[in-house]
Structure 1
Amino acid sequence: MPLLRQGVANDRAPARGMRHIPVMLSEVIAALRPKSGDCFVDGTFGAGGYSRALLESADDVRVFAIDRDPEAIARGADLVRESNGRLVLMEGCFSDMEALLAHHDVHSVDGVTLDVGVSSFQIETAARGFSFQSDGPLDMRMARAGETAADLVNTRSETDLADLIYQLGEDVRSRRIAKAIVTARAEKPILRTSELAEIIVGAVGMGPRAKKKIHPATRTFQALRIAVNDELGELERVLDAAERVLAPEGRLAIVAFHSLEDRIVKSFLAERAGRLPSGSRHLPDLPDMGPQPSFYLPKKGVIKPSDTEVSTNPRARSARLRVAVRTEAPAWRAAA
């Protein structure tokens, strides 16, 4: 039985005045170039910011929006009604977009957009357990099913925890943190976000990171969230799925928030656009016998948020948008 169920969760309500601001909204819509009659996938519906903007961008635009969080699907009911049938909400993982679309007899779309960060609703609702800013159960599940962060923290070995925090949180202090977690859980299970944050602070102190407004627990919480939701595996799978469902000249717009995500997106697009480095420049070029590029990149590198947006929406600070356009070449990887 998941350990979290032993805890007390009486903090179901989101923070007062909570408001989700879509990150890089104008840049994403500009990248997708919606026109009348287009069909889009919003792979991370969240609060519906991208979906609403797409619906308002041109006449007869249709949007199929995905979210694995049932609370996000429930919040979208009003927008569905307002859309007069042009918005369809689908509960599930975005990597399953092919099957979800096929259920509605849709097999090709004109654009796919993904915001692969955590929504403000998830972060600011203490009962979801994504943040140490407010005490809540150590949960972090986007789909409200499966292993919780508490399960990982209380059952993984010290070595496994250290590796997880180092690889997914990119925290060089991972071994000290893992040792402190294992020592603390020997006394009693760690079931609350505040408990885990205090253990981490006790292990590594506030240090110079505090001056940069980076709490010592930030990277550990990131690592646990990524592990609980298999976020990197989901991202790899959805990139393949988007390649298969996009029509020729269909556009892909992905907003990532940390280096692990952005590295996966960058590598995928570079490979599919035929931009991976070849052999030594001192050797003659060999004929390219691989698949034809399935994407081309209209802009090299990333698009960053404006200074104005960062000043009004701090969540946008680390956002990076990458854009690609589908070619007529077959997808490189068939569906499993």
Structure 2
Amino acid sequence: MMKHTSVLLQECIDSLVIKPNGIYVDGTLGRAGHSSEILKRIPNGHLYCFDKDQQAILESEGRLAAIGSNFTIIHAGFKNLKSELQNRGVDEIDGLLLDLGVSSPQFDEASRGFSYRYDAPLDMRMDQSQPLSAYEVVNTYEFNELMRIFYRYGEDSFAKQVARKIEQARSVKPIETTFELVDIIKSAYPAKVLNSKGHPAKKIFQAIRIEVNDELSELETVLEDALAMLKIGGRVAVISFHSLEDRIVKETFVRMSSQPKIDKRIPLLPGQLEEAPYRLVTKKPILAGEAELKENNRSHSAKLRVIERVK
């Protein structure tokens, strides 16, 4: 089993303010780092864990079983949180944790095709039973669609040039591996960009991965559903790793914790001003401390935001 260090572990546990008899959800089970710590703290509660990755589930089941039996692992993406929980008779939860993005073992397993640092077939599927993979995106999406994905999900200013190079290359033969794609991406950038900080393929690989796994749409869905199912006093904690995810989390939390807009022309009686049903626990995101930054490189871009239901 590959070593996996959970990001902002103690900060997440502290933020959830876990009740021993609570119903908690880990929407991103991974290798059960966060789930294990939640399960230890709910001897009279229950933990529901979601993951698309069957390999992650297989590796995590034994780890959780060594702590207790009061958990359920669900092989599904967290966009299915509401329906999957309601199918199990659960309409309310005390807390949700999301550790977004790709886990370290997924990046480190070369054959999964998530990383531009290993040569592997183009894949990038978190759920390996789904038909859409990076291969289909790269080889079948039209030029305009590729350009849209690279701009929107990669925020890459050379999106048009990269899309054009891909279109040209695949007209000769299909693009099959990560290194083939990396070479094509590099050919689209000016020399000064290639020599600047950071890997030139990082943004494009991120964009393709988000498209393959429908990550941003799923995030919007789970936030709306989880907040609606949250009990009073319950909390949602989300770790994001890039600006697109963080923006969705921040904007959703701010919107849900803001007072309803009222017509200032209408006089209000004392106590008539309605309070927002949610409270921002974190006005600014929680970041990793120095010790964690030294030990875990993945924590450098991590941002934790937390919201609580108050009425």
Note whether the superposition's TM-score is higher than 0.5: yes
Aligned to 2:250: 266
Q: How does 1:96-245 map to 2 (within 5 A)?
A: 96-144=80-128, 145-204=130-189, 207-208=192-193, 210-212=195-197, 214-245=198-229
1:131, 1:291 → 2: CA distance?
49
Q: 1:286 to 1:66 in 2, by over 3 A?
A: farther
SS at match of 2:2: coil
Q: Are the aligned partners of 1:32 and 1:253 in contact in 2 as well (CA < 8 Å)?
A: yes
The one-letter amino acid of 1:229's match is: N
1:31 is displaced (CA, Å) by: 0.3
- 5+ residue gaps, structure 2: none
2:295 match = 312
1:297 matched residue in structure 2: 280
Among 61, 81, 84, which residue is 2:65 paired with? 81
> Is 2:75 the counterpart of 1:91?
yes
Partner of 2:18: 34
| C-alpha displacement of 1:285 | 7.3
Q: Which runs of 5+ in 1 are unaligned?
A: 1-16, 329-336
Query: Quick one: which of 62, 81, 86 aligns to 2:46?
Result: 62
Report the CA distance between 1:291 and its aligned residue.
8.7
Correspondence for 2:304: 321
CA distance in 1, matches of 2:81, 2:273: 27
Task: Indicate if the aligned counterparts of 1:181 and 1:199 stay in contact, CA closer than 8 A.
Answer: yes
Is this contact kept in 1: 2:186–2:194, CA < 8 A?
A: no
Q: State TM-score, norm by structure 1.
A: 0.85
Name the CA shift for 1:290/1:233 in 2 (closer, same or farther; >3 Å): farther
The secondary structure found in structure 2 opposite 1:60 is coil
Measured in 1, the distance between the counterparts of 2:51 and 2:45 equals 20
1:300 partner letter:
K
Residues 40 and 67 in structure 2, CA contact (< 8 A), matched pair in contact too: no
State the percentage of identical aligned residues.
Answer: 37
Structure 1's 206 and 322: CA in aligned 2 closer, same or farther, altered over 3 A? farther
- Tell me: CA distance 1:49–1:160, structure 2 relative to 1, closer, same or farther (3 Å): same
TM-superposed CA distance for 1:181, in Å, is 0.7
Shift in alpha-carbon separation, 1:164–1:157, aligned structure 2, 3 A: same
CA, structure 1 residues 287+91, in 2 after alignment: closer, same or farther (shift >3 Å)?
farther
Tell me if structure 2 keeps the 8 A contact 1:34–1:61.
Answer: no
| Structure-2 change in CA distance of 1:284 and 1:129 (3 Å) | same
Distance 1:89 1:130 in 2: 24
Other structure's SS at 1:106 match: coil
Cα shift at 1:56 = 2.2
Structure 1 residue 102 displacement after superposition: 2.2
Q: AA paired with 2:286? A: I
- Indicate the RMSD between aligned Cα atoms, in angstroms: 2.4
Task: Return closer, same or farther for 1:196/1:290 CA change in 2, 3 Å cut-off.
Answer: farther
Instruction: Find the aligned partners of 1:66 and 1:235 in 2 and give their Cα distance.
Output: 13
Secondary structure of 1:76's match? helix
Q: Aligned equivalents of 2:267 and 2:201: distance in 1?
A: 50
* 2:188 aligned counterpart, secondary structure: helix
